[in-house]
Amino acid sequence: MMIVLVTGVSAAGKSTLARHLAAHGQPAVSLDGHPGLCDWVGEHGAPVPWPTDPDRAWLARHRWVWHADVLDRLIAAAVAEAGEAAALFLCGRADNAYELRDRFGAVVVLTIDRAVAARRLGAPERGNPFGRTGDSRAAILDGLDADQRALTGWADTVVDGRLPVAEAADELLTAVAMLALRRAFP
């Protein structure tokens, strides 16, 4: 089974894509919502609470990280539950994802433009406070291009996150199938 990390900037559609994939029979997990996996941490790695109004200085001093041990348990449980599926899709982003890349057989980045990011960050149904409180929205939009360049620099492939979710899912499934074929027949 190929473990696929689907990542991207905030508002790229990772959680929406995870829900769509799961609703259509694909094993998929939205990592942001998994209990105990994610934390904001300070410079020494200790978890800190999310402030009600984070400013740029706070955002610059803290990182959103996955705990490796929790990620490993999550992957093991999801693989066991997925059975004979060809791929398991883990959808999310953390500042330490690159450091944990050895856990993934493939990395796919969802990319969006500034207009889509702004619209999605402002959507009332958005469940994530990052991008809606304090300076986080401005930080996301100001760093959008640089963040996407950094993510695509270590990804195996890119999917257009501006597409309607069903089309993005089809693009993702096709991209992962092509990666699997290229690896099977180099």
Q: What is the pLDDT of residues 18-69, one digit of tens each?
A: 999 999 999 999 998 788 999 999 999 999 998 989 999 999 999 999 999 9
Residue 161 in this model has a pLDDT that exceeds 90: yes
For 61-112, write each residue's pLDDT tens digit. Answer: 999 999 999 999 999 999 999 999 999 999 999 999 999 999 999 999 999 9
8 Å CB contact between 30 and 18: yes
What is the DSSP track for 116-177? HHHHHHT-TT----TTTSTTHHHHHHHHHHHHHHHHHHH-SEEEETTS-HHHHHHHHHHHHH
Query: Which two structure tokens, joined as six digits, stand for 8?
Result: 């991207």
**pTM to 2 decimal places:** 0.95
CB atoms < 10 A from the CB of 54, how many?
Answer: 18
Quote the Cα angle for 163-59-155, to 5°: 40
Q: What is the residue extent of each domain of the chain?
A: 2-38+65-184
Give the mean model confidence (pLDDT) for residues 162-180.
97
Q: What is the pLDDT of residue 132?
A: 87
Tens digit of pLDDT for each residue in 139-157? 999 999 999 999 999 999 9
* Segment (H or E) for 72: helix 68-82
pLDDT score, position 125: 84
- Picking from 71, 59, 131, 132, the residue whose alpha carbon sits closest to that of residue 96 is 71
Fold classification of 2-38+65-184 (topology level): Rossmann fold (3.40.50)
